[in-house]
Chains A and B, each alone.
Chain A
Amino acid sequence: MYKKLGTSAVIAGLVSSATLVQAADDDLGIYGFLSVGAAVLDTDNRVEKGNENYGKPISLDGFDDDAGNFKQDAIFGLQITKQVNEKTSATGQLVSRGGSNYNTEAAWAFVTYNATKDVDLRMGRLRIPFFYYSEFLEVGYAYNWIRTPSDVYSLPFSSFDGVDATKRFSYGKIDGSVKVNYGRFSETIDLYGDDYKADLTNVLGVVVDLNKGDFGFRLSAQQAEVSFDMDPTASTGRLVDRLQAGAYQAIAGLGLDPKLQEEFDFDGHQSNFYDVAFTYNNGTYGLVAEANTIIYESALLMDSESWLVSGSRRFNDITVHATYSTSKSVFDGGDAGEVQKLLPLHGEDVSMILGARYDYSAGTALKVEVQHHDEKIHLNEDGNSGMLYSVAVDMIF
């Protein structure tokens, strides 16, 4: 008996020291990504004098003047993952963006608990999984474009503070996962070029991912209560403030029920987002098709619909790709819609992207891209169109 106990103690000792050695080996992971690029915007000023958009360059992905820009596409990210014990790990990702003056921000900071081998629970700062590319939007190396098409990838929100739970499963030859996320986001965001203090509460969503061989399918539904520090009486000149003041005036001017004003507030209004994506990649040919819709209960922001379709063909280390993307705002029905038509809210955009990616080494890609962007309708009027020529280097390490 004594001897038996002794043996199991030795075995236990061996097992735990083996685990320790293994833990010391791979308990800390450091990963990074870097993108640098240059781009030139060239606007074709086709609208006539008198139009609100006359002489204005198109605004595309933060490129807002017709000159060379080396800063906008620059991005640097560093991620550290620490395995705390067998079931728990901590991950932090710091990202510094040229487009926001290289201010460093914690894009991700969370603790993961592997409840079972197929269930992960995470808490902390996470990404709202709106779009197919949302969660790795800043890792240029992870896709063929220099940046995701902004007609579709246009939401001003990205992170949230909260929890998510992921359940992975396999059913025959189909592998998939279901993720539920819940949380809140409070931060200053950019809305039409102005700063607003935004508060997203009750951010609640579900994402379903299915894969079979070369085929992939993804569905995301998200909802949140969105509010901003609105002030329609302020003389700050912020666009959405002025829109709200304009809406109130229009309601009075049209002799509509003053209660309609509430529809042009944010208080207690919910917003809904739905996205569906289909992917195919057999290693040589690739296809991505994605469509989504945003429905704001508040009439102050226009609902919108957008979609993209992108095809690629790989020739050894070179992949060429072509993309069509479009978005348009959708008017509400009833009196609210009539008021919306009087405000400079309506927009419709179409883009074509042609590009090539050269996998220069296993962790480095060189990219060139030409994008034609057409602001068919910009702030309710005919808009301009233009070309954006870009080159970039994306790497991971």
Chain B
Amino acid sequence: MKLRKIFASAVLLATTAASVNAEVAVIVSRDNQNAKLDQELISRIFLGKVSSFPNDVEAIAIDMKKGSDIRNEFGESFLEKTPSQLNTYWSRLIFTGRAKPNQEVDSAEEMKKLIAKNPNMIGYIDVKDVDKTVRVVAKK
């Protein structure tokens, strides 16, 4: 009996932990011709290293607001960097005028609206916010 209780709370704990780490969907416009993108290329686009999609069309990365959970989640899973590491990375580009930070949006709604109408843009939202206005090219 006691054992079952412990087991139950362990399961409960595990589910809570899983729900903290939201699954992130990387999205593009339905007019974007690239079916799937791998994590490596997504990372290079968001870090300003690559400026085109595989079909040679210009790629513009859109970030969620700095400090937001979804941005930190995307940073961990797709860019494999902590917020501090990303800040260090970007400070080298910004203070040398080499690049300016990606455009930011405040919400999943805003992100979808922006992405839907521009085939050059690529962004990310929580998987549960995905709808038919945008297309998912990667999930993690």
CB–CB A135/B94 < 8 A: no
Which listed residue, B49, B85, B97, touches A175 by the CB 8 Å rule?
B49
Assembly CA distance A143 to B84 (angstroms): 11
Which listed residue, A93, A170, A213, touches B50 by the CB 8 Å rule?
A170
Which listed residue, A89, A175, A363, touches B87 by the CB 8 Å rule?
A363
Q: Which 6 A-B pairs have the closest CB atoms?
A: A359-B84, A135-B96, A175-B49, A362-B83, A142-B91, A139-B95
- A interface SS class: strand
Assembly CA distance A130 to B77 (angstroms): 35
Point out which of B81, B95, B96, B100 has the most chain A C-beta atoms below 10 A from its C-beta.
B95
Point out which of A110, A112, A170 has the most chain B C-beta atoms below 10 A from its C-beta.
A170
Chain A: minimal CB distance from B102 (Å):
10
CB–CB B44/A362 < 8 A: no
- Contact A142 to B88, CB < 8 A, known contacts A117-B58, A175-B44: yes
- Contact A79 to B94, CB < 8 A, known contacts A29-B100, A118-B51, A362-B67: yes
CB–CB B50/A136 < 8 A: no
- Contact A139 to B91, CB < 8 A, known contacts A91-B97, A122-B97, A283-B85: yes
CB–CB B95/A362 < 8 A: no
CB–CB A317/B85 < 8 A: no
Q: Which residues of B contact A (CB under 8 A)?
A: 40, 44, 49-52, 58, 67, 80-85, 87-88, 91-92, 94-98, 100-101, 103
Task: Identify 4 new A-B residue pairs, CB closer than 8 A, beyond the known A93-B95, A117-B52.
Answer: A112-B97, A211-B49, A363-B87, A396-B87
A355 interface residue (CB < 8 Å to B): no
Assembly CA distance A89 to B99 (angstroms): 11
Assembly CA distance A106 to B110 (angstroms): 38
A72 interface residue (CB < 8 Å to B): no
CB–CB A317/B95 < 8 A: no
A3 interface residue (CB < 8 Å to B): no
Tell me which residues across on chain A come within 8 A of B96, comparing CB atoms.
108, 127, 135-136
Tell me which residues across on chain A come within 8 A of B49, comparing CB atoms.
170, 175, 211
Assembly CA distance A118 to B56 (angstroms): 12
- Contact A175 to B95, CB < 8 A, known contacts A317-B84, A359-B84: no
Chain A residue, CB-CB nearest to B79: A283
Tell me which residues across on chain A come within 8 A of B40, comparing CB atoms.
173, 213
Assembly CA distance A359 to B40 (angstroms): 26
A201 interface residue (CB < 8 Å to B): no
Assembly CA distance A86 to B95 (angstroms): 20
CB–CB B94/A31 < 8 A: yes
CB–CB A168/B80 < 8 A: no
CB–CB A33/B95 < 8 A: yes
Chain A: minimal CB distance from B129 (Å):
22
Tell me which residues across on chain B come within 8 A of A93, comparing CB atoms.
95, 97
Chain B residue, CB-CB nearest to A93: B95
A77 interface residue (CB < 8 Å to B): yes
Chain A: minimal CB distance from B123 (Å):
15
A272 interface residue (CB < 8 Å to B): no
Chain A residue, CB-CB nearest to B60: A117
Chain A: minimal CB distance from B120 (Å):
10
Chain B: minimal CB distance from A358 (Å):
10
Assembly CA distance A357 to B52 (angstroms): 35
A81 interface residue (CB < 8 Å to B): yes
Chain A: minimal CB distance from B97 (Å):
5
List A residues 341-384 near B (Cβ within 8 Å).
359, 362-363, 365
What are some 27 contacts across the A-B interface (CB < 8 A)?
Answer: A25-B103, A26-B103, A33-B91, A79-B94, A81-B100, A93-B95, A108-B96, A110-B97, A117-B51, A117-B52, A117-B58, A136-B91, A136-B92, A136-B96, A139-B92, A141-B87, A141-B88, A142-B92, A143-B88, A168-B51, A173-B40, A175-B50, A211-B49, A317-B84, A359-B84, A363-B87, A396-B91
Chain B: minimal CB distance from A345 (Å):
34
Assembly CA distance A211 to B43 (angstroms): 13
Tell me which residues across on chain B come within 8 A of A117, comparing CB atoms.
51-52, 58
List A residues 37-90 near B (Cβ within 8 Å).
77, 79, 81, 89
CB–CB A141/B100 < 8 A: no
Chain A residue, CB-CB nearest to B83: A362
CB–CB B97/A108 < 8 A: yes
Tell me which residues across on chain B come within 8 A of A110, comparing CB atoms.
97
CB–CB A31/B97 < 8 A: no
Chain A 274-298 interface 0/1 with B at a Cβ cutoff of 8 Å (1 = within): 0000000001000000000000000
Assembly CA distance A365 to B85 (angstroms): 11
Chain A: minimal CB distance from B46 (Å):
13
Chain B: minimal CB distance from A105 (Å):
15
Chain B: minimal CB distance from A206 (Å):
16
- Contact A31 to B95, CB < 8 A, known contacts A175-B50, A283-B80, A362-B67: yes
List A residues 213-235 near B (Cβ within 8 Å).
213
